[in-house]
Amino acid sequence: MNDHVVTAAASLQKSLIQSRVRARLLRSIAATLNDARDLIIATCSQESALTSEELAPEFARMTRTLEMFADVVDDGRWTRTAISPNESDPTKAIGPNHDIRSFLIPLRGAVIVFGASNFPLAYGACGGDTASALAAGCPVVVKEHPAHRNTGRLLAQIARDAIKSASFDPDLLCYVEDDGKDTASLARSLVEHPDAAAVGFTGSTKIGTTLISIANARAIPIPVFAEMGSVNPNIIFPGALASRAKDIARQLAASILARHGQQCTCPGLVFVPSNEHHFADVFEEELTKGAPRRMLSPGVREGFERSVAKVAGALGEDVSDHTAPSERKSPLLLRAPSKAAVELPEVLETEMFGPAAVVLSGSMADAESAIARLPGSLTLSLWFDESDVTTVRHLLPDILHRAGRIIFNGVPTGVRVCEAMVHGGPWPATNRPESTAVGPRAIERWCRPVCFQNTPEAIVCPALAAGA
């Protein structure tokens, strides 16, 4: 039903061949968005249950990410250009002594972007997926998110105007409306489109896996980069617990209360090496200071109720206050022994997307057993003091396999946009743990390498010249 849109976007790919064009477009979009800052934040706040204060830093992240990718494109190192010249001693070459030069090129076609419900700006029509795809040289087709249609349309319109002002065809960034009545068919038609190069998705594991299946079933499969569920474990070590339980509890509660727990990096599981209740009591007290609040959308609210019911049910707890349908949701803390959790995959694996967490208490040995059964997460935080360093070092090799970002003495929310950032992780945090959705290297999702063999001077471009 949107056949012409994807084709229209993809057909413009050649106009993005020159890197200076892409950098100019990205800067132009960022500048035009900045000019409309107040209108965008007001529009978004009105329809999204997020406050202007929450949206202000997100707005900055959106426009500065666009500018960052302009810098990345100008810099040129993102192409990972490699030059293997002829060996002067041919016997040193493994195989025939050809001159080989490689670099990244964009995938052929348009990138389909499915934005997130919880970051309408940073993961929206002009968010990181769109910015990195345009930077790579792929036109973009954004699927509207039914939870913030006005914001999406406004962002897309501003970006399209910016592209037009820069004398390019605005269909380099297409926007497909979605009234929410048949999102499944719409999504399928976009992912199955022959001119789709790849898919960027941020949302639930359920929808993510559906899109992945559609993409895999194509005659020519295309990659989906899906950021899905994450429980974001926090492990508190004995020394840290003894010396600053209250401080850690406060930081974690604040991390959960930000955006009312609706962040992909929200801490959902906290391991405490003790059966005492002091930490959990303080944590609960801090958490329940948070007022009941409207969730991002009815869908998010229902999902939160279901997941809380699932975890509480496995623990045999009555949380009917929280799972009953209601407009506003209060923060919630659940508790269980680590030893019991080892046998409760519902507790270890369920992301409660909202203001809720589970404290698992018990010996470090029990915690270690439970950690070995954790699903992949975007993040994993370690809270420790000097006296815990040996234990941390002992656990680290296993912990590395559980997340994309290991945080030392800090909460998982708050993602810096920088070269070394890994916003990704093992299944189900993402389906492509070799990638990051944030930072300059996010551009690589939309690329593949190609090499030239024995390139004549008449063909070689400056970036491929030896010594470049």
Backbone angles phi, psi at 319, to 5 degrees: -125, 40
Smallest distance, its own copies to C-beta of residue 288, A: 26
Decide whether 39 or 82 has the Cβ nearer to its own copies: 82
Q: Pick the binder of its own copies from 27, 259, 293, 405 (CB under 8 A).
A: 405
Residues in contact with 388: Cβ distance below 8 Å, sequence separation at least 6, in sequence order: 237, 238, 239, 240
Smallest distance, its own copies to C-beta of residue 384, A: 9
Residue type, 405: R
Q: Does 299 bind its own copies (CB under 8 A)?
A: no
Smallest distance, its own copies to C-beta of residue 133, A: 15
Q: Pick the binder of its own copies from 18, 51, 185, 409 (CB under 8 A).
A: 409
Which residue in the list 44, 264, 266, 447 is annotated as catalytic? 264
Please list the residues that pair with 431 across neighbouring strands: none
CB burial of 382-418 (b: ≥16 within 10 Å; e: otherwise) equals bbbbeebeebbeebeeebeebbbbebeeebbbebebe
Q: Pick the binder of its own copies from 20, 206, 328, 448 (CB under 8 A).
A: 448
Smallest distance, its own copies to C-beta of residue 407, A: 4
Catalytic: 44? no
CB burial of 322-341 (b: ≥16 within 10 Å; e: otherwise) equals bbeeeeebbbbbbbbebbbb
Residues from 343 through 402 that contact its own copies (CB under 8 A): 386, 389, 392-393, 396-397, 400-401
Q: Does 248 bind its own copies (CB under 8 A)?
A: no
Which residue in the list 58, 144, 227, 284 is annotated as catalytic? 227
What does the angle CA 358 – CA 359 – CA 360 come to, to the nearest 5 degrees? 110
Distance of alpha carbon 4 from alpha carbon 13, whole angstroms: 15
Decide whether 123 or 175 has the Cβ nearer to its own copies: 123
Q: Pick the binder of its own copies from 135, 415, 437, 443 (CB under 8 A).
A: 415
CA-based max dimension of the chain: 77
Decide whether 114 or 446 has the Cβ nearer to its own copies: 446
Distance of alpha carbon 290 from alpha carbon 288, whole angstroms: 5
Q: Give the dihedral sign, CA 45/48/54/58.
A: negative
Smallest distance, its own copies to C-beta of residue 354, A: 22
Residues from 207 through 246 that contact its own copies (CB under 8 A): 212-213, 216, 220-221, 223
Q: Does 61 bind its own copies (CB under 8 A)?
A: yes
| Cβ–Cβ under 8 Å, residues 430 and 424 | yes
Q: Does 329 bind its own copies (CB under 8 A)?
A: no
Q: Pick the binder of its own copies from 1, 42, 82, 291 (CB under 8 A).
A: 82
- Span of 145-153, 249-257, 266-274, 455-463 interacting with its own copies by CB under 8 A: 455-463
Host H or E run for residue 83: strand 82-84
Take residue 467 and report the two structure tokens written for it: 């010594």
Neighbours of 185 (CB within 10 A): 10
| Cβ–Cβ under 8 Å, residues 199 and 211 | yes
Smallest distance, its own copies to C-beta of residue 246, A: 21
Residues from 88 through 107 that contact its own copies (CB under 8 A): 93-98, 100-102, 105, 107
Host H or E run for residue 214: helix 205-217
Q: Pick the binder of its own copies from 449, 463, 465, 468 (CB under 8 A).
A: 449
Q: Does 407 bind its own copies (CB under 8 A)?
A: yes
Q: Does 465 bind its own copies (CB under 8 A)?
A: no
Please list the residues that pair with 219 across neighbouring strands: none
Smallest distance, its own copies to C-beta of residue 358, A: 22
| Cβ–Cβ under 8 Å, residues 109 and 197 | yes
Cα distances (Å, whole numbers) of residue 241 to 245, 277, 326, 340, 387: 5, 12, 36, 21, 11
- Span of 180-188, 245-253, 274-282, 418-426 interacting with its own copies by CB under 8 A: 418-426
Distance of alpha carbon 155 from alpha carbon 36, whole angstroms: 9
**Residues touching its own copies, count (CB under 8 A):** 76
Catalytic: 447? no
Q: Does 434 bind its own copies (CB under 8 A)?
A: yes
Q: Which residues are catalytic?
A: 227, 264
